[in-house]
A and B are shown apart, each in its own frame.
Chain A
Amino acid sequence: MTTPLLEVKNVSKNFGGVAAVHECSMSIAEGSVVGLIGPNGAGKSSLIDLVSGFERPDTGSVLFAGQEIVGRRPDVISRLGLIRTFQTPREWRDLSVIDNVRVGRSALERESIWRTLTSGRRLRREEMAESEELFDLMTHYRLDAVRNARASGLSGGQKRLLEFARIAAAKPRLTILDEPMGGVNPVLGERIGEAIRELKRAGSTVVVVEHNLPFIEKTCDEVVVMDLGSVIAQGHFSELRDNARVVDAYLGNDDE
């Protein structure tokens, strides 16, 4: 058996006495698109924070490509090839659209953001290749017309696409998307589904947190279900309806 790309082992995290994540374990195989689902408050976003270094687990271990990443800073983890998004797109507001994507590349180049933006010492050949790739990304995500505009002026939909362009530039091994369909219209929704499949084709493993289950069913190879801070099921979407624990998690329980 090959080593999973991401392995979460018995991870727990309390916030003010409330267990947001409780002895949570799961593993994600390389090359798959996995939906991370569960009712409100199941701990999905908290788990992402723990895995991406934005919060530190109280106990437990997180292995990324076999390497322990608990205690590493988010920027270090992203340079290792694990990139996440947030429920609301976060862009560098004062940078141009194209510079935002260039910053995405800094994760790939393993260099500092500062150097990416100021570097005058780069070989011309490299520069040419970079420009061409950036140009292609801009066109692909329909951002070419606004590439020199400040990112803060983009529409909500364009910000989502910019996020995918940045991820594509960074070529991560693992992409974690936190509710990419939030506030998104159906047409853009199709485009986002396509962008996720493109990430997969480009070699990234993808974890998608999303409440839109039809979207999950269509986009993901398998699903991980969380409830009350733990993983309660992992498998194919079609198996969920016959899993009593999953049904209880979604429909609630009226025992006293």
Chain B
Amino acid sequence: MTAPEHDAPVVLRVKDLTAGYGGPPIIDHVSLEVRKGKIAAIVGPNGAGKSTLLKAIMGVIKVTSGEVILLDKNCTNMAPEKLVRHKLAYVPQVANTFPDLTVRENLEMGGYTRRHGVHERIEELGDLFPDLRKSLRRKAGALSGGQRSMLAMARGLMLDPEVMLLDEPSAGLSPLLQKSLWEQIEAVAATGVGICVVEQNTRRSLRHADWGYVLVLGKNRLDGPASQLLNDQEVIDLYVGRMS
């Protein structure tokens, strides 16, 4: 099959990453690549370590071995606030917006370290997220779940990241809203941002992503073009098939 994703440059390379919360490692020698303008989906059963992997990349928890290479620069164990300046954005699953601030204020906060061009960037993001443009003066806490997810993403985009990590952006959304959120993620990727997304809904993620990584109990088990994994019996086996 044609794999144009192989032509796009790698913007984030994770090599043999091992990390946890002080006890046994939750992710164990995990490797992956995110390419410019492409979506890499991290899927796997409960307890696979998907969200932990994002936290380890983002410097929220300590990496005990392995490397995080961002745009050819080794950024392993770099503090989150520094990584942001190195063009990495992270949208956590919860507490990802300021509910008492308006949409515009949330975006301004996202652009806090920008020297100039905050208003221009908000304008651009308004084109990308028409739904948010209409709600710039509303409090974030008054938005619907789907809109709040989009605001969280837009806020992350305020600093023009090259790579974006999304932790379960569609959690708690209805199937219809999940679909439109994924279309929004595709639109963001189309602007040239490399996206690494963790989701519970494996099939939906693989439907929209370019490349899929299946993690099981903290280890890489399978990866490939998302469209191929979607129909791969081996993926099912990794979730509920014979384990030993």
Question: In the complex, which residues 1-54 of chain B have their Cβ closer than 8 Å to any Cβ of chain A?
Answer: 21, 23-24, 45-47
Enumerate chain A residues within 8 angstroms of B202, measured Cβ to Cβ: 250-252
- Tell me, yes or no, whether B242 is within 8 Å of chain A by CB: yes
- Any B CB within 8 A of the CB of A39: yes
CA distance A217 to B244 in the complex (A): 8
In chain B, residues 174-193, which have Cβ atoms closer than 8 Å to a Cβ of chain A?
A: 175-176, 179
Contacts of B200 in A (CB 8 A): 39-40, 252
> Smallest CB-CB separation from A250: which chain B residue?
B239
Is the beta-carbon distance between B207 and A254 smaller than 8 angstroms?
yes
Whether A185 pairs with B203 at a CB distance below 8 angstroms is no
Residues of A within 8 A of B201 (CB): 251-254
Q: Measured between alpha carbons, how far is A252 from B200 in the docked complex, in Å?
A: 7
Specify which chain B residues have a CB less than 8 angstroms from the CB of A240 in the assembled complex: 240-241
Say yes or no: A241 contacts B244, CB within 8 Å: no
Cα of A240 to Cα of B179 in the assembled complex, Å: 28
Q: Which interface residue of B21, B47, B201 has the most chain A CB atoms within 10 A? A: B47
Q: Does A117 contact B (CB under 8 A)?
A: no
Please indicate the chain B residues that have their CB under 8 angstroms from the CB of A255 in the complex: 175
Taking the complex as formed, is B222 at the interface, i.e. its CB lies under 8 A from any CB of chain A? Answer: no
For residue B72, CB closer than 8 A to chain A, the reply is no
A40-B46, A240-B241, A246-B240 known; A256+B24 contact, CB < 8 A? no
Count how many chain A residues have C-beta atoms less than 8 Å from C-beta atoms of the other chain. Answer: 25
**In the bound complex, do residue B47 and residue A251 qualify as a contact, i.e. CB atoms below 8 Å apart?**
no
Query: Is B120 an interface residue when CB atoms closer than 8 A count as contact?
Result: no
> Are A214 and B24 also in contact (CB < 8 A) when A251-B202, A252-B202, A254-B203 are?
no
B101 at the interface (CB under 8 A from A): no
CB of B13, distance to nearest CB on chain A (Å):
28
B179 touching A256 by the CB < 8 A rule?
Answer: yes
Bound CA span A212–B48, Å? 9
A156 to B235, CA, bound (A): 33
> Complex Cα distance A217/B204, Å?
27
* Shortest Cβ distance from residue B171 to the other chain A in the assembled complex, whole angstroms: 10
Cβ-based interface call for B243 (8 A): yes
Contact at A211–B45, with CB atoms within 8 Å? Answer: yes
Contact A238-B242, Cβ < 8 Å, known A213-B45, A250-B45, A252-B201: yes
A153 at interface, CB cutoff 8 A: no
Contacts of A253 in B (CB 8 A): 175, 201, 203-204
Residue B236 at the A interface, CB < 8 A?
yes
Residues of A within 8 Å of B21, CB to CB, are 183
- B23 contact set on A, CB distance < 8 A: 156, 183, 185
State which of A185, A213, A254 has its C-beta within 8 Å of the C-beta of B240.
A213
Q: Tell me the A197-219 residues at the B interface (CB within 8 Å).
A: 211-214, 217-218
Does A184 make an interface contact (CB < 8 A)? yes
Does A17 count as interface, using CB distance less than 8 angstroms?
A: no
Question: B26: nearest residue on chain A (CB-CB)?
Answer: A183
Q: How far is the CA of A184 from the CA of B239 in the complex (A)?
A: 21
Q: How far is the CA of A253 from the CA of B237 in the complex (A)?
A: 17
How near does chain B come to A178, taking the closest CB pair, in angstroms? 14
- A76 within 8 Å of B (CB atoms): no
Chain A to chain B contacts (Cβ below 8 Å), 22 pairs: A40-B46, A40-B200, A156-B23, A186-B24, A211-B46, A213-B243, A217-B242, A217-B243, A218-B244, A240-B240, A241-B236, A241-B240, A241-B242, A250-B239, A251-B235, A251-B239, A252-B200, A254-B179, A254-B201, A256-B175, A256-B176, A256-B179
Sample of 5 further A-B pairs with CB below 8 A, known A211-B45, A251-B201: A183-B23, A184-B24, A217-B242, A252-B203, A254-B175
